[in-house]
């Protein structure tokens, strides 16, 4: 569905850049004894094979390798990947692929996850490139679709409105169309409508969830490409879904960074946004990083975001505050879940924000709050945050936060208090991006890119180099952290030029921490706003005040 105007061409150029880079890596990468490139995740073989084939048949690309040999190598890997499907009807996970392939891929047990996204992407690949495939691969590919269809993996109700069900819904539409199954197609149509209605009215329960948000985008973009063009109502609803998803993305976007809270995140996105290929193609306002840990189909599949999303994502000359509501779904709990309030302050140079409330998330992988910097194209962290380690935490993996943290968000300032009970580990962990940092006994001042940071701590700390970031370790009684960020441009307008001058200016803002009767932090920002966060009892909600007035969350909308 590509148009021929200049703007669309820029998207295509960015896609071709991705295709070329991944194809070059695939062509150069030696095959394992199994005839595959990867044993860690079966899907990576399908993705790399798709990109290598796409490059080999694209005459507009100037390649550094032999087209015919590359085309054959891609088809060989794709064939070997397809043959790993469980094709024995009546067996457990019939129609599925294994996920991990070690030590012998053809002996690996099938897994429920790969087909969810890979099945739909395979259908799109076949539509786009099927005419160029050799006869054997084309036959095996179409046979695989039959096994997928008869596996019925997608015949599940919509309950939690999460990424698994989104992929089931898209698969219902795709395979219902492919096999002229009107009952399945209607099920998909109703699932799509109910999902869209829910996330429009109550928000996405999986807020900021990466890489799974991109599975939503890819699955429904595939469906849009593969359903009947004559099914006008379905086409309209799919476009409404994709427009909504891109508006969700745009609201918390800063030059490749996903701002604010994440309900889940993998190590390649915490503490550094690395799953950026879809953003790169859509927005193109940052340099493509060399490392691409999640290739998937960003270079091959595209839907143009609506103009309001593009404007929201790209226009931060004037800082904006984004506020959103969401409500989680817990099937085993009959009670209505509480509303969650997500906040972000986004300027040209940086963003800050997170979730006011803390709830249990899958695998406890959430990122409660962070300061985010634009993606630079270099490896390393672009996020700054502090947390108390919780269930699942491992040294060197700065995720898995405990529930012992209360927060206050106000534009370029975040205050966190940590009411850690007696007997629990009293270490607070902080993540700093690489930059120029100056240390004081209970404070850190730094410049990272075009942003100055002032960090005030209730206790002394230690620093340690980690892979891609600097770790701050704060030990002591329950305490707190205050972070304020100011752009270099804004500081210069105030006559503050250079990190030394910034440190002198911020010396007047030294906060107060109270840790005797309850827990509290008082801070006056660079703009003169007086902030207070206090916790008097575990049974009471914390008091968050701005200029002695309670901060209201009444204006938050979905």
Q: Which of 454, 428, 268, 437 is nearest to 352 (CA)?
A: 454
pLDDT reported for residue 508? 80
Please state, rounded to an integer, the average pLDDT across all residues of the chain. Answer: 95
Instruction: For residue range 56-103, list pLDDT tens digits in order.
Output: 999 999 999 999 999 999 999 999 999 999 999 999 999 999 999 999
Q: Which of 346, 496, 510 is nearest to 412 (CA)?
A: 346
| 218 pLDDT above the threshold of 60 | yes
Q: How far apart are CA 72 and CA 22, in angstroms?
A: 16
Instruction: For residue range 309-368, list pLDDT tens digits in order.
Output: 999 999 999 999 999 999 988 887 878 888 999 999 999 999 999 999 999 999 999 999
Q: Which of 310, 129, 316, 155 is nearest to 225 (CA)?
A: 129
Helix (H) or strand (E) holding 489: helix 488-493
Q: Report, as an integer, the average pLDDT of 209-225.
A: 97
Q: How far apart are CA 29 and CA 309, in angstroms?
A: 38
Tokens 């129609």, located at residue: 95
pLDDT reported for residue 269? 95
Secondary structure (DSSP) of 288-342: PPS--S--TTTTT---PPPHHHHHHHH--SS-EEEEEEEE---TT--SPPPEEEE
pLDDT category at 6 given cuts 50, 70, 90 is very low
CA quadruple 136, 142, 147, 148: dihedral sign: positive
pLDDT reported for residue 9? 57
pLDDT reported for residue 109? 98
| 5 pLDDT above the threshold of 50 | no
Instruction: For residue range 229-255, list pLDDT tens digits in order.
Output: 999 999 999 999 999 999 999 999 999
Q: Report, as an integer, the average pLDDT of 379-400.
A: 95
Distance of CA 302 to the CA centre of its chain: 18
Residue 5 or residue 244, greater confidence: 244
Q: Report, as an integer, the average pLDDT of 199-215.
A: 96
Reduce the DSSP state of residue 258 to 3 states and report it. strand
Q: What is the DSSP letter of 142?
A: H
Return the ∠ at Cα 506 (arms to 505 and 510), rounded to 5°.
135
Q: Report, as an integer, the average pLDDT of 369-391.
A: 95
Q: Report, as an integer, the average pLDDT of 397-406.
A: 96
Q: Which of 522, 520, 521, 484 is nearest to 505 (CA)?
A: 484
Return the ∠ at Cα 506 (arms to 504 and 511), rounded to 5°.
135
Q: Report, as an integer, the average pLDDT of 447-453.
A: 98
| 7 pLDDT above the threshold of 80 | no
Tokens 């070997």, located at residue: 80
**Contact assessment for residue 304 and residue 221, using Cβ atoms and an 8 Å cutoff:** no
pLDDT reported for residue 534? 97
Beta-sheet strand order (sheet of 413-418): 406-410, 413-418, 479-487, 451-457, 443-448, 436-440
Q: What is the DSSP letter of 378?
A: S
Backbone angles phi, psi at 322, to 5 degrees: -105, 125
Instruction: For residue range 250-270, list pLDDT tens digits in order.
Output: 999 999 999 999 999 999 999
Reduce the DSSP state of residue 469 to 3 states and report it. strand
Angle separating helix axes 135-151 and 163-178, nearest 10 degrees = 120
Tokens of 338: 């509480």
For residue 106, is the peptide bond before it cis, meaning its omega torsion is within 30 degrees of 0? no
Q: Which of 407, 412, 409, 309 is nearest to 351 (CA)?
A: 412
pLDDT category at 199 given cuts 50, 70, 90 is very high
**Contact assessment for residue 374 and residue 382, using Cβ atoms and an 8 Å cutoff:** yes
**Mean pLDDT lowest among 141-150, 233-242, 530-539, 548-557:** 530-539
Q: Report, as an integer, the average pLDDT of 215-236.
A: 98
Q: Which of 362, 378, 240, 385 is nearest to 309 (CA)?
A: 240
pLDDT category at 517 given cuts 50, 70, 90 is confident
Tokens of 35: 């005839």
pLDDT category at 423 given cuts 50, 70, 90 is confident
**Contact assessment for residue 460 and residue 441, using Cβ atoms and an 8 Å cutoff:** yes
**Contact assessment for residue 222 and residue 252, using Cβ atoms and an 8 Å cutoff:** no
Q: Report, as an integer, the average pLDDT of 446-458.
A: 97
Q: Which of 27, 51, 36 is nearest to 84 (CA)?
A: 36
The Cα-based distances of 493 to 88, 215, 320, 490, 498 in angstroms read: 70, 43, 19, 5, 12
């Amino acid at each position: 569905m590509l148009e021929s105007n200049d703007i669309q061409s820029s998207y295509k150029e960015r896609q071709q850049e991705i295709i070329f880079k991944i194809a070059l890596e695939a062509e150069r990468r030696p095959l394992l004894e199994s005839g595959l490139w990867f044993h860690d995740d079966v899907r990576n073989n399908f993705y790399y094979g798709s990109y290598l084939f796409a490059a080999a048949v694209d005459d507009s690309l100037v390649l550094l390798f032999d087209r015919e040999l590359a085309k054959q190598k891609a088809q060989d890997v794709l064939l070997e990947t397809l043959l790993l499907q469980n094709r024995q009807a009546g067996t457990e996970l019939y129609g599925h692929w294994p996920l991990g392939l070690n030590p012998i891929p053809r002996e690996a047990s099938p897994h429920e996850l790969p087909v969810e996204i890979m099945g739909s992407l395979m259908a799109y690949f076949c539509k786009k490139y099927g005419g160029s495939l050799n006869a054997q691969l084309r036959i095996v590919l179409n046979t695989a679709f039959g096994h997928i269809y008869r596996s019925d993996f997608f015949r599940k109700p919509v309950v939690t409105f999460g990424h698994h069900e989104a992929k089931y819904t898209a698969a219902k539409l795709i395979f219902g169309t492919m096999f002229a199954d009107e009952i399945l197609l209607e099920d998909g149509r109703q699932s799509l409508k109910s999902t869209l209605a829910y996330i429009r009215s109550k928000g996405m329960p999986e807020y900021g969830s990466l890489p799974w948000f991109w599975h939503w985008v890819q699955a429904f973009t595939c469906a849009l490409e593969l359903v009947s063009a004559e099914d006008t109502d379905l086409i309209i609803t799919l476009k409404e879904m994709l427009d909504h998803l891109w508006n969700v993305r745009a609201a918390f976007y800063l030059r490749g960074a996903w701002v604010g809270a994440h309900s889940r995140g993998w190590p390649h996105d915490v503490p550094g946004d690395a799953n950026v290929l879809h953003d790169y193609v859509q927005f193109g306002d940052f340099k493509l990083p060399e490392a691409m840990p999640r290739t998937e189909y960003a270079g091959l599949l595209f839907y143009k975001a609506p103009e309001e999303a593009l404007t929201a994502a790209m226009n931060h000359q004037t800082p904006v505050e984004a506020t959103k509501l969401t409500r989680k779904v817990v099937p085993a709990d009959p009670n209505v879940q509480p509303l969650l309030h997500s906040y972000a302050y986004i300027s040209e140079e940086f963003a800050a924000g997170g979730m006011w409330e803390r709830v249990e998330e899958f695998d406890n992988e959430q990122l409660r709050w962070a300061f985010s910097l634009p993606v630079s194209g270099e490896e390393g962290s672009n996020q700054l945050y502090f947390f108390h380690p919780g269930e699942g935490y491992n040294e060197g993996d700065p995720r898995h936060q405990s529930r012992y943290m209360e927060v206050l968000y106000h534009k370029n300032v975040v205050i966190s208090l940590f009411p850690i009970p007696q007997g629990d580990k009293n270490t607070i962990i902080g993540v700093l991006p690489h930059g120029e940092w100056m240390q004081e006994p209970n404070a850190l001042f730094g410049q990272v890119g075009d942003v100055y940071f002032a960090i005030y701590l209730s206790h002394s700390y230690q620093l340690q180099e980690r892979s891609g970031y600097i770790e701050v370790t704060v030990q002591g009684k329950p305490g707190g952290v205050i972070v304020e960020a100011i752009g270099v441009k804004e500081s210069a307008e105030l006559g503050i030029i250079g990190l030394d001058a910034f440190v002198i200016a911020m010396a007047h803002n030294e906060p107060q921490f109270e840790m005797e009767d309850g827990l509290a932090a008082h801070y006056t920002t660079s703009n003169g706003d007086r902030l207070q966060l206090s916790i008097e009892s575990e049974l009471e909600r914390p008091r968050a005040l701005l200029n002695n007035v309670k901060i209201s969350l009444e204006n938050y909308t979905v």
